[in-house]
Structure 1
Amino acid sequence: MSEWTLSLTVDGPERTQALAERLGARLRAGDLLVLTGELGAGKTTFTQGLGRGLGVRPGIISPTFVLVRRHPNVPDGPRPGGPDLVHVDAYRLGSAAEVDDIDLEDTVDTAVTVVEWGTGKVEHLADSRLEIVLERAVGAAAPAPVAMPGAADGAEDDAEDDDAEPRRITLTGIGPRWAGGPPPLDPPGEGPAPGH
């Protein structure tokens, strides 16, 4: 099983989303991403950027209370005919068996599947995965959850958008899909991304 690791440092939510957007533009149906990070580390912010890169309908929020949200590809967007995004919050799921109960195997081959808190629970869904760890600056306290006005299902925003401190984002590619090494993530017309 091939494996590589790439660590980058980004400042603030806009750069987190920009990096994720570049990655999202390179993803394809069947890709499984496992996001790890403490509350407020930027997992949902990262997923919003992925969604832009994939060309799915805007409005990505944490699926904390519904467990799974499917975001369809926009036919007149930047990637018409591209894969949908399936966004999962596995925090409340205790095992791979509980993941199987939400039927991700029905969409894992036809969509890009992003699972927050999925380590140890979703690796069986695909023979390849991209593990993404988001870490806040050392010594910083996580922000308290903030209720989002008008959010469905009482979803909360973990105050990531107001938090401009640096994040270390570590990507690890596992399996044949990622055997060629990390995808190029440099912004167009720029050199290597910070921390590269």
Structure 2
Amino acid sequence: MRALGIRIAGLLRGGDVLLLSGPLGAGKTTFAQGIGAGLHVDEPVVSPTFTIARELHGRFADGTPATLIHVDAYRLGGNAYAPGQDSVDRLLDELESIGLDEELENPSDNTVILMEWGEQMAAALADERLEIHICRPLPAAPGAHSETDDGMSELTSDGTRTVKLVPVGEPWQQRIGRVIDAQ
């Protein structure tokens, strides 16, 4: 997951929006760490679950400054809607409350937005984006789970991930071929 993140980071440009989805433990944060490494971010890339968004600084492959805004949208889009308010309006209101609405609508020339759990926001976000869907099938083989003290099975970080890259918009459709060709 980290190596794939590094490869995709080499394709990034200012204004890009990446939506990252997958179940808990699928490798979203590891992928984000690869993006950070590929953008030469010096700070640790950790899940922004409790802060919702973190701003990190690095540089693009060509050496120009890059700002990575790493968002965890897991807690956004709750069930409390105003009468007549749809889910997209609710999400936009929440993004505005944390100051991300303008950055998403018009990202600056050196900003990349990486949003975990962003699939519920696809309709409200940029017309051009790369959606990264990580699937982590539950292991069926014996020993694929570890046993906890109470005898319950616990997921491990082991196992194969399947990643589906969905380019939305012409620029991403052209660039994504370079990731596939590099395999």
TM-score interval for Structure 1 and Structure 2 normalised by the shorter chain: 0.7 to 0.9
Aligned residues: percent identity? 38
Structure 2 unaligned regions, length at least 5: 78-90, 147-154
- Aligned 8 A contact 2:139 2:145 in 1: no
* 1:72 is aligned to 2:66: no
Task: Write the deviation string for residues 123-163 of structure 1: whole angstroms up to 9, x where unpaired.
Answer: 433221111111113446899xxxxxxxxxxxxxxxx9x72
Deviation at 1:104, TM superposition (A): 1.6
Counterpart of 1:154?
A: none
Match of 1:48, SS state, is helix
TM-score (norm 2): 0.74
Counterpart of 2:14?
A: 29
How many residue pairs match? The answer is 156
Match of 1:121, SS state, is helix
Counterpart of 1:84?
A: 67
Match of 1:185, SS state, is helix
Task: Provide the C-alpha distance between the structure 1 equivalents of 2:94 and 2:61, rounded to a whole number of angstroms.
Answer: 35
- The structure-2 alpha-carbon separation of the partners of 1:126 and 1:20, relative to structure 1 and needing over 3 Å to count, comes to same
- Aligned 8 A contact 2:19 2:114 in 1: yes
| Between structures 1 and 2, the one with greater helix share | 2
2:176 aligned residue (179, 182, 187): 182
Structure 1 unaligned regions, length at least 5: 1-15, 144-159
* 1:168 is aligned to 2:153: no
Task: Provide the C-alpha distance between the structure 2 equivalents of 1:83 and 1:105, rounded to a whole number of angstroms.
Answer: 19
Counterpart of 1:137?
A: 137
How large is the RMSD of aligned CA atoms in angstroms? 2.8
The structure that has the greater radius of gyration is 2
TM-score (norm 1): 0.69
